[in-house]
Amino acid sequence: MALLVAVAILGCAHTQAPERKTYLITEDASRIDFKEDARGIGGSGAEAYCNELQIQCYDNCWEQKPPIWSIKKHSAMHREFCTKKCREEFNDCVEKQERIEQQDLLSKKLNFPDIDAALDWLKKNTPEAPPGTNVVVAGAAFVIVIIGSGLFLVPI
């Protein structure tokens, strides 16, 4: 009976899950330079990579005889053909790279024993945890988001 009273007074000894509320990481996220390779949103390396492939595609297409017999090599129609073909390849490349980056982001999860440890680490290491990063705090799932100009930890 004494053990039951002690547990009731002291509470559980294991770590409690954090409240389901939004936590401020920083008030001004606009000053943060997130690492280019960690960002899974616009401005990532996908477009630069795919742009180079598009240039190579166009150069190769321009040097080859068009597969359509009615198009003369190095004509305006040949230029239009190569531009359209390589633009489609560029768009496919960007979509594929963004899917890969999104999967990478979803696989990056940070785990912390309590909300104080999570917030301390996130405030010190903000560029390593860009918006979209999943964070687990004492078993509760959160995601980092920008709201207004601030960076927040929001429950999923």
Burial of 37 (0-12, 13-18, 19+ CB in 10 A): exposed
- pLDDT tens, residue by residue, 135-156: 888 888 888 888 888 888 989 8
pLDDT at site 105: 58
User: 29, 49, 48: which is closest to 132 by C-alpha?
Assistant: 29
pLDDT digits (tens, 9 = 90+) for 55-110: 999 999 999 999 999 999 999 999 999 999 999 999 999 888 887 776 665 566 78
Digit-coded pLDDT (tens) for 14-67 = 555 566 788 888 887 777 777 544 443 334 466 778 898 999 999 999 999 999
Q: Is the pTM of this model over 0.75?
A: no
The DSSP code for 115 is H
- CA 93 to chain centroid, in Å, comes to 17
